[in-house]
């Protein structure tokens, strides 16, 4: 199925092309994400490339809110739907394989994993988080095949374009690998979402802007802006405890995000403006736990920028 690239004529009251606006424009309804666990690990954790993963990655592999990995995928879907039923009354969902690297397995395993998901009538999109270096030709063929059935999105964990920072966070692949993955995924019609982290150790505001600008020009369909969270039992937490770096203040973060929004091309879908850190293991920044407050502050800052710049916006 060819991905629909719709210009954001309707922002639905926002000052950027949000995921919510995109879904309403394309699917004509809100879709809720069901966070799933495909039972995989990561070449950056099992010794293939390194051990321990990226320094910010928790024991849950960035999938702390996903379903229990020992559960059958159909049961995971049922349990995830039941879990969100109190706050979501819609009829369709995005199946989001979030934990670890979700193409890091043989194609036969991936077919058996993703196949039952695609068969579900109420699943509208299959979204897969992975690494750019885990997209071998046979896996691209599978993604192309699945994309003919329903839209497939692949979320690439880039985090930063700066190689010095990439080495520090133990990412273990070069920027050229990301470029290649975006090119190959776009060639087969699969939607590309890029995950970036703001506030990585020693990165300047200018460097964060450069990463966002690079993603905006990469051909990616969407971007996630994630605040750096320091979580317990990570290498990043050890660095933080030693005073090697400090996390962003709420005012710094809001300022950086609003500047990035102004920088990005209007057609790119912003899937996330911040993120939820697991409060049980979150060390810093503690202010990030109030997500609604942050989103409201970003909205107010964008509105203020419109007034200062003489822009007209009709909500």
Model confidence over 127-182: pLDDT tens digits?
Answer: 999 999 999 999 999 999 999 999 999 999 999 999 999 999 999 999 999 999 99
The answer, yes or no, to whether residue 246 has pLDDT greater than 50, is yes
How far, in Å, CA of 192 to CA of 154, rounded?
5
- Higher-confidence position of 168 and 90: 168
18-22, 85-89, 122-126, 218-222: least confidently modelled range: 85-89
The answer, yes or no, to whether residue 315 has pLDDT greater than 90, is no
**Residue spans of alpha helices (H) in the chain:** 19-26, 73-84, 107-118, 137-147, 163-168, 175-187, 205-217, 235-241, 250-263, 291-308
- Higher-confidence position of 276 and 73: 73
Tell me the CA end-to-end span of the chain in Å, nearest whole number: 33
Task: Using pLDDT thresholds of 50, 70 and 90, give the confidence band for residue 216.
Answer: very high
Model confidence over 267-301: pLDDT tens digits?
Answer: 999 999 998 778 899 999 999 988 899 999 999 99
How far, in Å, CA of 229 to CA of 236, rounded?
9
Sequence-distant (≥ 6) Cβ neighbours of residue 115 within 8 angstroms: none
Sequence-distant (≥ 6) Cβ neighbours of residue 81 within 8 angstroms: 34, 93, 122
Answer for the pair 57, 101: CB distance below 8 angstroms, yes or no. no
Q: What percent of the chain has pLDDT over 90?
A: 80
Residue 19 token pair: 């995921």
Sequence-distant (≥ 6) Cβ neighbours of residue 207 within 8 angstroms: 160, 162, 165
Helix (H) or strand (E) holding 227: strand 222-227
Prediction pTM value: 0.90
Average pLDDT over residues 252-256: 97
Q: What percent of the chain has pLDDT over 70?
A: 89
The answer, yes or no, to whether residue 86 has pLDDT greater than 60, is yes
Residue 171 token pair: 């990412």
Average pLDDT over residues 206-231: 97
- Higher-confidence position of 99 and 138: 138
Instruction: Report the CATH superfamily, name and number, of domain 19-308.
Output: Aldolase class I (3.20.20.70)
- Higher-confidence position of 70 and 31: 31
Sequence-distant (≥ 6) Cβ neighbours of residue 127 within 8 angstroms: 33, 94, 95, 96, 97, 152, 153, 154, 155, 193
């Amino acid at each position: 199925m060819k991905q629909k690239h719709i210009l954001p004529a309707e922002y639905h009251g926002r000052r950027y092309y949000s995921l919510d606006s995109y879904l309403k424009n394309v699917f004509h309804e809100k879709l809720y994400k069901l966070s799933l666990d495909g039972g995989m690990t990561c070449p950056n954790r099992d010794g293939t490339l390194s051990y321990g993963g990226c320094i910010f990655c928790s024991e849950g592999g960035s999938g702390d809110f996903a379903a229990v990995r020992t559960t059958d995928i159909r049961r995971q879907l049922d349990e995830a739907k039941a879990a969100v039923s109190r706050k979501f009354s819609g009829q369709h969902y995005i199946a989001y394989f979030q934990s670890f690297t979700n193409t890091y397995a043989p194609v036969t395993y991936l077919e058996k994993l993703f196949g039952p998901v695609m068969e579900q009538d109420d699943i509208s999109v299959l979204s897969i988080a992975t690494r750019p270096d885990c997209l071998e030709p046979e896996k691209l063929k599978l993604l192309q095949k699945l994309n003919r059935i329903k839209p497939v999105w692949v979320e690439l964990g880039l985090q930063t374009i700066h190689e010095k920072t990439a080495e520090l966070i133990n990412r273990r692949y070069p920027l050229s690998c990301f470029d290649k993955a975006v090119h190959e995924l776009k060639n087969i019609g699969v939607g590309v979402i890029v995950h970036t982290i703001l506030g990585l150790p020693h990165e300047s505001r200018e460097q964060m802007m450069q990463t966002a600008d690079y993603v905006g020009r990469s051909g990616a369909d969407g971007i996630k802006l994630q605040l750096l969270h320091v979580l317990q039992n990570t290498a990043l937490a050890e660095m933080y405890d030693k005073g090697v770096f400090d996390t962003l203040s709420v005012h710094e973060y809001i300022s950086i995000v609003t500047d990035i929004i102004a920088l990005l091309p209007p057609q790119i879908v912003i899937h996330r403006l911040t993120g939820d850190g697991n409060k049980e293991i979150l060390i810093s920044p503690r202010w990030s736990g109030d997500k609604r407050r942050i989103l409201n502050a970003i909205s107010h800052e964008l509105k203020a920028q419109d007034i200062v710049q003489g822009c007209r916006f009709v909500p």
